[in-house]
Homo-oligomer: A and B are copies of this chain.
Amino acid sequence: MTIAVTRSGEPETKPTRNSVSARPAAQAARVPDGTVQYLRIGDLQLESGVQLPDVVLGFETWGTLNADASNAVLIEHALTGDTHVTRGASEEPGWWEQLAGPGAPVDTDKYFVVSINILGGCYGSTGPSTPAPDGRPWGSRFPLVTLRDTTSAEARLADALGIDSWYAVLGGSLGGARALEWAVTYPSRVRRCAVISVGASSTAEQIAFAQAQTLAIRQDPNFNGGDYYGGPEPEAGLALARRIAHITYRSAAELDGRFGRNAQESEAPLEAGSLAGRGRYQVESYLDHQGNKLVRRFDANSYIAITEALMSHDVCRGRGSLRDSLAPATAEFLVAAVDSDRLYFPAQSRALAEALPGGPELHIIEAPIGHDGFLTEIGQLSGQLRSNFFA
């Protein structure tokens, strides 16, 4: 049911996503660690009532599932993340090597680690840029998917891999929201759950920043309602979306300490400028760089689709109060937040922790960088992760 496809190109190259072919599961060989595989999971009934046909999920694995399938760990990526959590057959670095790998807290010599590209993404899973049944990319027709939709898709992948329950599900930011949704939707399938740098639902402010980002793309003259494949892509819009997001991922102190009011080298923000243009401040050049870097590796429609999935994040929808909604979860929880995070405030993580069964302690990651500390400073949780989760 799965096929192996070697991860192609440089880490920052936009992946080709239309290369999924249908090889029967029987032919699947042992796939090297840390290479993208694909699974067809069939048609998916979405929360909106729409049916999404012939869904494919891209994923990577590391290590070996043990005989009673009790050592499987799911690591969920964030908004523009991919499935490459840590290095594998190739030495291509992953995005959470502090967390997972040989000898890391999630020891890939001991655990069978799985990472799934979120439905709607552009790193192997069905998304706006993959072909609809008529052979053309989904484009503007790609339906709204919620985090519950992406979770139910992932449950089918777990079924196919023979994983009845995860030893642990972990994630930060959007990944944390995905992990939480797993633990609440499938209580018996999640024994441990780490929810890092995200609260129980997307707040009005998080929705507001997300709207600005999706509008930046939608207003790009190349967007064409989402049907831009084969033509010029809405790169300027995607880069602007990323700039807005990136500001919220970093603290004011981080930006000011790194860049202050300095001019970009050999540019003069105050000399002979006009509305036609002027020299840049360093922080502008930095954000230009962040925007342009994402454009080279990410699909603008997927950015919208996943952002709107994140806007849908609400563990309480249709379930009652926060405490009632969380009550069915039987996992052991680890909740953590970065103290300087100004997008997913620690207070939101605290409210989640307090409402969870057993009221786990909130772990504070001390990092002046802001939200992105969940990626760069996960080492601060090593002790807790090792002693509580991965002893």
Contact = CB atoms under 8 A, between A and B. Distances in A.
Contacts of A48: 270-273
Nearest to A236: B219
A49 B255 contact: no
A225 B274 CA distance: 10
Given A48-B273, A272-B144, A255 B308 contact: no
A216 B47 CA distance: 33
A301 B243 CA distance: 21
Interface residues on A, range: 35 or more
A65 interface: no
Interface of A: 47-50, 128, 138-144, 146, 201-205, 207-209, 211-212, 215-216, 219-221, 225-226, 236-237, 240, 243-244, 247, 252, 255-256, 258-261, 269-276, 278, 281-284, 287, 301, 304-305, 308, 311-312, 314, 342, 345
A204 B261 contact: yes
A278 B145 CA distance: 11
B269 A209 contact: no
Contacts of A143: 272-274
Contacts of A282: 204
Q: How many copies does the complex hold?
A: 2
Contacts of A256: 203-205
A273 B256 CA distance: 39
Contacts of A258: 204
A271 B261 CA distance: 45
B276 A204 contact: no
B255 A240 contact: no
Nearest to A217: B275
A284 B210 CA distance: 9
B215 A276 contact: no
Given A240-B219, A261-B314, A270-B312, A276 B205 contact: no
